[in-house]
Chains A and B, each alone.
Chain A
Amino acid sequence: MIKHRLFWPVVALVALLLGNRIVTPGFFSVEVKSGHLYGSLIDILLFGAPLILIALGMVTVIATGGIDLSVGATVAISGALACYIISDQANQGSVGGVLFAVALALVLSLALGLWNGMLVAWLGIQPIIATLILMVAGRGVAQLITSGKIITVNSPPYKLIGGGYWLGLPFAIIVVVVVAAITAVLVRRTALGLLIEAVGGNAEASRLVGIRSRSLIIMAYMFCALCSGIAGLMISSNIAAADGNNAGLWMELDAILAVVIGGTSLIGGRFSLAGTIIGALIIQTISTTIYTAGVPSYRVLVFKAVVVALVCLIQSPAFRAKVFRRRHKRPPPQPKAEVPASDSGDLEVSA
């Protein structure tokens, strides 16, 4: 069971939750207040919803062997555009107007994803560089849309997306569950997941066996941008405002961390949707822990740095090999003749 790749992420999440339970006795209680569910666990899900969405998009991109640094910028742009359109309408509360704004914001997000995907798949630019362009310019574009101001909206239908309730559950959680379910079905019940993993393993080889690797890569970036766009709508809807400068700031880093903590390698190839969701939940639980346990908020970053370092070190095979080597008795060394000669290439040449 220890060998299962979800083992360590789940252990980390359970440990974090139990630690919270010990510090804050009422941590696990979920109440029904005026028809809505309330509680710390619901809070983690609600505030973690945008991160889970972005991480889901990010993991598909990472599975193709890429990375998307522009998700934070996409979050800002999508929120900015939706709020700009709604604030411009005579009746901000009209459902049609909100749907129009949401649709336009999502179309723009898809276009941004298409841009990233084309740079990577057609021009063959390294993903980290290709998406860096949008990461740098995107916030400028978001501020261009909002004219550098924070646009506030007063629209009940828009508020539903990030801060509303439906059937007693926060609407954002429902959106995340739906997106995650659709993704899981598409990826695991069809051949799509296998094709994506093939492209991530070796794009050239998969092209040669007849997989349209370029279209798949572009689709992955578009999916990632769409998820970021939805997350951007949630974030701006929750605070009923669009802030081109700060919305989704450092979101790309949190999303990549969630993917890595979830056990997906940044190299591409095999990926885990469940692990990614657990990774995002771990990050959100850490943030919630910091606030409920009363750790001063200015220590958040140091705390996060330590957790990130620990998680990454424990996941690193090289670290485990070097640190835990002495604990286990290794089998007696093989006779020298049996050691394959090719192993010598991996040997460390020390200075």
Chain B
Amino acid sequence: MTALTFMGKRGMTAFTFVSRRGYLPVLVTLGLLVAVFVVGSILYYPDFGTGQVVVNLFIDNGFLLVTAVGMTFVILSGGIDLSVGAVVALGAMLCAWLTGMGWPAWLAIVTAIAAGALLGFIQGYVIHEFEIQPFIATLAGMFLARGLCFVISIEQIPIKDPFFDWVQTPIAVPGDMFIKPTVILVLVIVAIAYWMLHYTRFGRNVYAVGGSAQSALLMGLPLGRTRILTYVVSGVCSAIAGVLFGVYTLSGSGLHAVGMELDAIAAVVIGGTLLTGGYGYVLGTLLGVMLLGTIKTLLNFQGTLSSWWTRIAIGVLLFVFIVLQRALGTRRRSAGV
């Protein structure tokens, strides 16, 4: 027991040391982010390279960031969650529908988050207990969540509750910039996720399960609880992202956030997390989302390049990072297939 506590206290330093080479993908992402930003600043001086553009990244991509943070948990544990985009839509839809029926805003938001948690729990339970592939189980979850949106309403529902306006009132900050309360919320969520992954027992279990479920089980770690919890975390994050999406668009619709699961997975991979699990950082995900957001902003500034170039750029980035990870992986385990 004393040995365990000792390991626990030393865990962080040992962890940092062992995975120093694992920082490389994250550093590459950071370098690319800086490079894209510098290029943008030179090309579109003086509008691009301002602090406000950085803040706007958080305002415009806040929901994607929160979704990707939840996805990071699932991917780290060796799973995948395809339902996140649909849960985002469901979260926004529930907020719009319930506040439209006269519910107070806080109750609608809590209900939306509870729905996300419940759906995540069901998916996790089915995946763990009945050994259904995560891919298939969360695919069914995706159909279900999107279907429920359309059962609530086929039309887009506007959100008229004043609370949703209030949370995006610009607040002036020093340096001639403004932020919004949603930005603070997003940053708090990233901080909580960082703390959970790196400073709690649950976080260490997530890495262990993702590294090798069999070994984690033999070590006596709660495999089922950890796995199910990662899907609950992802469901909750997606639902919160849904609320943010509702705030951002002031509406709920079954067609919101179509394909967002791909963006979230891409952001996690570009952030240096291994899709096989057990390896990666939530801060990498933050950088990944920022990089995607910066590219989108750059294309907006450019104006003539069309939106589909974003998708192609994301694909190219995915390719680069996957090959990079593969190159690092082969060096780590010299026996490749």
Asked if B46 is at the interface (CB within 8 A of a chain A CB), the reply is no
User: Which of A123, A144, A260, A350 makes the CB contact (< 8 A) with B136?
Assistant: A260
The chain B residue sitting closest to A351, CB to CB, is B222
Q: A150 to B254: give the CA distance in the assembly, Å.
A: 23
List the one stretch of B55-63, B174-182, B306-314 in contact with chain A. B306-314
Q: A312 to B136: give the CA distance in the assembly, Å.
A: 8
User: Which of A143, A204, A301 makes the CB contact (< 8 A) with B337?
Assistant: A204
From known contacts A136-B318, A301-B143, A304-B143, infer whether A128 and B131 are also in contact, taking CB-CB under 8 Å.
no
User: In the complex, what residues of A have CB within 8 A of residue B218's CB?
Assistant: 345
Q: A129 to B325: give the CA distance in the assembly, Å.
A: 12
Asked if A126 is at the interface (CB within 8 A of a chain B CB), the reply is yes
The answer on a CB contact under 8 Å between A266 and B222 is no
Q: A309 to B123: give the CA distance in the assembly, Å.
A: 10
The answer on a CB contact under 8 Å between A143 and B140 is no
Within 8 A of B (CB), among A256-306: 256-257, 260, 266, 298-306
Asked if A130 is at the interface (CB within 8 A of a chain B CB), the reply is yes
Instruction: Kindly provide the distance from the CB of B142 to the nearest chain A CB, expressed in whole angstroms.
Output: 8
Q: A132 to B311: give the CA distance in the assembly, Å.
A: 12
Quick one: which of B129, B131, B139, B307 has the most chain A CB within 10 A?
B139
User: Which of B80, B151, B318 makes the CB contact (< 8 A) with A299?
Assistant: B151
Q: A322 to B128: give the CA distance in the assembly, Å.
A: 13
Asked if B117 is at the interface (CB within 8 A of a chain A CB), the reply is no
The answer on a CB contact under 8 Å between A148 and B224 is no
List the one stretch of A17-25, A47-55, A221-229, A313-321 in contact with chain B. A313-321
Instruction: Kindly provide the distance from the CB of B252 to the nearest chain A CB, expressed in whole angstroms.
Output: 14
User: Which of A130, A133, A301 makes the CB contact (< 8 A) with B144?
Assistant: A301
List the one stretch of B21-29, B100-108, B261-269 in contact with chain A. B261-269
The answer on a CB contact under 8 Å between B146 and A301 is yes
From known contacts A133-B319, A140-B312, A302-B148, infer whether A266 and B133 are also in contact, taking CB-CB under 8 Å.
yes
Quick one: which of A133, A266, A319 has the most chain B CB within 10 A?
A133
Asked if A26 is at the interface (CB within 8 A of a chain B CB), the reply is no
Contact with A along B263-289 (1 / 0, CB 8 A): 001100100000110000000000000
User: In the complex, what residues of A have CB within 8 A of residue B307's CB?
Assistant: 148
The answer on a CB contact under 8 Å between A123 and B323 is yes
User: In the complex, what residues of A have CB within 8 A of residue B309's CB?
Assistant: 140, 144
Instruction: Kindly provide the distance from the CB of B13 to the nearest chain A CB, expressed in whole angstroms.
Output: 28
Instruction: Give the number of residues in B that approach A within 8 Å (Cβ atoms).
Output: 56
Asked if A203 is at the interface (CB within 8 A of a chain B CB), the reply is yes
Asked if A39 is at the interface (CB within 8 A of a chain B CB), the reply is no
Q: A43 to B16: give the CA distance in the assembly, Å.
A: 60
Instruction: Kindly provide the distance from the CB of A214 to the nearest chain B CB, expressed in whole angstroms.
Output: 9
Q: A217 to B130: give the CA distance in the assembly, Å.
A: 30
The answer on a CB contact under 8 Å between A203 and B337 is yes
User: In the complex, what residues of B have CB within 8 A of residue A309's CB?
Assistant: 126, 140, 144
Asked if B184 is at the interface (CB within 8 A of a chain A CB), the reply is no
Asked if A114 is at the interface (CB within 8 A of a chain B CB), the reply is no
The answer on a CB contact under 8 Å between B132 and A137 is no
From known contacts A129-B322, A260-B136, A309-B140, infer whether A124 and B337 are also in contact, taking CB-CB under 8 Å.
yes
The B contact surface, by secondary structure, is helix
The answer on a CB contact under 8 Å between B337 and A256 is no
Contact with A along B152-191 (1 / 0, CB 8 A): 0010000000000000000000000000000000000000
Instruction: Kindly provide the distance from the CB of A76 to the nearest chain B CB, expressed in whole angstroms.
Output: 11
The answer on a CB contact under 8 Å between A257 and B269 is no
Q: A125 to B326: give the CA distance in the assembly, Å.
A: 7
The answer on a CB contact under 8 Å between A136 and B314 is yes
Instruction: Kindly provide the distance from the CB of B145 to the nearest chain A CB, expressed in whole angstroms.
Output: 8
Contact with A along B217-260 (1 / 0, CB 8 A): 11011111100000000000000000000000000001000000
The answer on a CB contact under 8 Å between B148 and A349 is no
The answer on a CB contact under 8 Å between B308 and A350 is no
Within 8 A of B (CB), among A111-139: 123-126, 128-130, 132-139
User: In the complex, what residues of B have CB within 8 A of residue A134's CB?
Assistant: 315
The answer on a CB contact under 8 Å between A313 and B308 is no
Asked if B336 is at the interface (CB within 8 A of a chain A CB), the reply is yes
User: Which of A123, A126, A130, A322 makes the CB contact (< 8 A) with B130?
Assistant: A322
The answer on a CB contact under 8 Å between B148 and A319 is no
User: In the complex, what residues of A have CB within 8 A of residue B221's CB?
Assistant: 349
The chain B residue sitting closest to A145, CB to CB, is B308
Asked if A211 is at the interface (CB within 8 A of a chain B CB), the reply is no
Q: A208 to B130: give the CA distance in the assembly, Å.
A: 35
The answer on a CB contact under 8 Å between A266 and B319 is no
Asked if B211 is at the interface (CB within 8 A of a chain A CB), the reply is no
Asked if B301 is at the interface (CB within 8 A of a chain A CB), the reply is no
User: In the complex, what residues of A have CB within 8 A of residue B269's CB?
Assistant: 129
The chain A residue sitting closest to B214, CB to CB, is A345
Asked if B150 is at the interface (CB within 8 A of a chain A CB), the reply is yes
User: In the complex, what residues of B have CB within 8 A of residue A256's CB?
Assistant: 135-136, 139
Instruction: Kindly provide the distance from the CB of A333 to the nearest chain B CB, expressed in whole angstroms.
Output: 23
Asked if B137 is at the interface (CB within 8 A of a chain A CB), the reply is yes
The answer on a CB contact under 8 Å between B143 and A316 is no
From known contacts A126-B275, A313-B132, A316-B130, infer whether A141 and B143 are also in contact, taking CB-CB under 8 Å.
no
20 A-B pairs within 8 Å (CB atoms) are namely A126-B276, A133-B319, A136-B314, A136-B315, A140-B310, A148-B307, A204-B337, A253-B139, A256-B136, A257-B136, A298-B147, A298-B151, A299-B147, A301-B144, A302-B150, A306-B144, A308-B139, A312-B132, A319-B132, A350-B222
Supplied contacts A133-B318, A141-B312, 19 more A-B pairs, CB within 8 Å: A123-B323, A124-B326, A125-B322, A128-B135, A136-B315, A136-B318, A204-B337, A266-B135, A266-B136, A301-B144, A302-B144, A302-B147, A305-B147, A308-B143, A312-B132, A316-B132, A318-B130, A349-B221, A351-B224
Which A-B residue pairs are the 9 nearest by beta carbons? A137-B315, A301-B147, A140-B311, A302-B147, A351-B222, A298-B150, A305-B143, A305-B144, A143-B308
